Amino acid sequence: MSSFLNERRPPVFCPGCTHDRITKELDRALEIMGLPADKTVIVSDIGCSGLFDTFFNVHALHGLHGRALTYAQGLKLANPELNVIVTMGDGGLGIGGAHVLAACRKNMDVTLIVLNNFNFGMTGGQYSSTTPTAAVVGSEFLNHAEIPIDICAVAESAGATYISRCSGHDAKLAETFVEAMGHKGFSLVETFGMCTGRYTKRNPLTPKVIDEMIAAMPRNNGPVEKNKRAEYGEVYRQLALEKKRFPEPVTIEKLIDPAAPKREEIVILGSAGMRIVTAGDIVCYAGMTAGMNVSMKNDYNITVLRGQSVSEILISPEKIGYAGIQAPTVVVAISDEGVQRRRSMFATLSPETFVIKEKSVAIPETPARVFEVDFKESKVKRHDWALASLGLLAKEGKGFTFEMLSHAVHARFNEKVAGIAMETVEKMYRS
């Protein structure tokens, strides 16, 4: 096999820099694997490791600091045939730590090579997430107050399926890369190396010292049995295959020609659990069965299971412009929480506004026509009060007719649920 090295762009690392050796070993690994160049991409990070993509005759993507894994995974998801290799320094590891954790958890078939040389070489030798506490670096004393991260230990607990830590001077480095790239799933190879330009000047670090450091650390050299599982993309595609049904838009046929279509502004004031949004849907469907334009704004508490639930609905024969409520024609007040939310509205209602008020609910003074209903006495359960109110509105000829409502209920629910819902609606309609 021939080299993948880009002859027009030879490596430009400082003399003695371990990155130089890693470049050659990565090339040897690619040769051994015989990967097709056009199905291989090197995604590089920022810093000296960010130069890697330029040295190889494969596809290349050089991105922002710490984000290399995000591009790599996007590429792999979009094109599962790609062999994706990421080079990242200890700087990228620190700034993009969340992405490393996520990559370990996802287990996408991407190989991450962390070129750890214990400092930010390119910007002047500041401390990084892997700098030893006692090291002398460009950040004065700051690293003395922190401890370095052991990314292999972190990756193992985050679920990585292949982890290897080795010296950048290891004679078998290319073989390690081959094994990592051959691993189906996320593989992380951490190499320890020397930054001759910045770090080793002030810190005694030689290949021998690196070997001793690695020997003193927990051993990581291959597949992680306890994390073994299927590759993310394969799992995703298998799960996605089961999703066969494309959700077509909800479409309501015009079935009724209303005699005198007019604009209605309907406000339903309820609480979480009272199926206010469902009732709003039904009102909109009712309008649409008469060929009317509709709009619905909902207001509910972010905690979902408590607080107000308010639905504001417009029904109009004209195209709807401003989608807020201006002059309600109908107000349904079925909970104090909902009423409180629109308290100031009541004084502004017109005498023609039709207000349905449940007996237990208190409303502010209003010039509107108030119709009190005792749902409790009628034995309507609280979560059906909104639906039951719609039956009353149809009975009073407010907002929509019974026929429109009936079509809407049948369009909104399946046959069984629609049958039960219609019992509630009819009970009030006929009351």
Partner 1 sequence: MALSFMEGNEAVARGAMAAGCSFFAGYPITPATTVFANMLKMLPPRGGVCVQGEDEIASMGYCIGASMAGKKALTATSGPGLSLYSEQISFAVGSEIPLVIVDVQRLGPSTGSATRGADSDIQFMRWGNTGGVPVIVLVPKDALDCYLLTVHAFNYAEEFRCPVFIASNKEIGMTKESVDLDAVTLPPLVARKPYRGDAYVPFEAGPESAPDFLPIGGRDLVRQTSSTHGPDGYITIDPGVIEANQERLQNKILAAEERITLYEENHRPGADTLVISYGVTSRAVDDACAHLEKKGRPVSSLTLKTLWPVPETLLLKAAKSYRRIVVVEMNLGQYVGEIQRVLCGKKIDFYGQMDGILIKPGKIMEVIENE
Q: Do the beta carbons of residue 115 and residue 190 sit within 8 Å? A: no
How far apart (Å, rounded) are the C-alpha atoms in residues 276 and 221?
58
User: Among 2, 251, 303, 414, which residue sits at the site for partner 1 (rule: CB under 8 A)?
Assistant: 251
245 binds partner 1 (CB under 8 A): yes
- Nearer to partner 1 by C-beta: 7 or 225? 7
Residues near 362 by beta carbon (within 8 Å), at least 6 away in sequence:
336, 339
Q: Which part of the chain contacts partner 1 (CB under 8 A), choosing from 16-24, 193-201, 221-229, 290-298?
A: 290-298
Residues near 427 by beta carbon (within 8 Å), at least 6 away in sequence:
378, 380, 388, 391
User: Among 134, 215, 246, 416, which residue sits at the site for partner 1 (rule: CB under 8 A)?
Assistant: 246
Site string for partner 1, 360-379 (x = CB under 8 A): --------------------
Per CB under 8 A, which of residues 209..228 are in contact with partner 1?
A: none
296 binds partner 1 (CB under 8 A): yes
Residues near 421 by beta carbon (within 8 Å), at least 6 away in sequence:
387, 409, 413
Tokens found for residue 230 = 């299927």
70 binds partner 1 (CB under 8 A): yes
Site string for partner 1, 340-359 (x = CB under 8 A): --------------------
Dihedral pair phi/psi, residue 157, rounded to 5° = -75, -20
Burial degree of 264 (CB within 10 A; 0-12, 13-18, 19+): buried
Q: From the CB of 7, what's the least distance to partner 1, in Å?
A: 14
- Nearer to partner 1 by C-beta: 39 or 306? 39
37 binds partner 1 (CB under 8 A): yes
User: Among 18, 57, 161, 200, which residue sits at the site for partner 1 (rule: CB under 8 A)?
Assistant: 57
- Nearer to partner 1 by C-beta: 147 or 304? 304
Q: DSSP per residue over 7-33, as a string? A: TTS---PPTT-HHHHHHHHHHHHHHHH
Tokens found for residue 293 = 């334009």
Dihedral pair phi/psi, residue 271, rounded to 5° = -130, 165
How far apart (Å, rounded) are the C-alpha atoms in residues 217 and 236?
35
User: Among 140, 146, 212, 253, which residue sits at the site for partner 1 (rule: CB under 8 A)?
Assistant: 253
Q: How many residues lie near partner 1 (CB under 8 A)?
A: 70
The residue whose two tokens read 């958890």 is 105
User: Among 15, 34, 204, 249, which residue sits at the site for partner 1 (rule: CB under 8 A)?
Assistant: 249
Which pairing describes strands 59-62 and 110-116: parallel, antiparallel, or unpaired? unpaired
Q: How many other C-beta atoms lie within 10 A of the C-beta of residue 374?
A: 10
Q: Which part of the chain contacts partner 1 (CB under 8 A), choosing from 130-138, 223-231, 297-305, 392-400?
A: 297-305
Say which amino acid occupies 295: S
User: Among 172, 202, 229, 254, which residue sits at the site for partner 1 (rule: CB under 8 A)?
Assistant: 254
Cα Rg of the chain, angstroms: 34
Q: From the CB of 345, what's the least distance to partner 1, in Å?
A: 13
39 binds partner 1 (CB under 8 A): yes
User: Among 22, 26, 29, 82, which residue sits at the site for partner 1 (rule: CB under 8 A)?
Assistant: 82
Q: Which residues contact partner 1 (rule: CB under 8 A)?
A: 9, 37-39, 41, 43, 53-54, 57-64, 67, 69-79, 81-82, 98-99, 101-102, 236, 239-241, 243-247, 249-254, 281, 284-285, 287-288, 291-299, 302, 320-324, 326
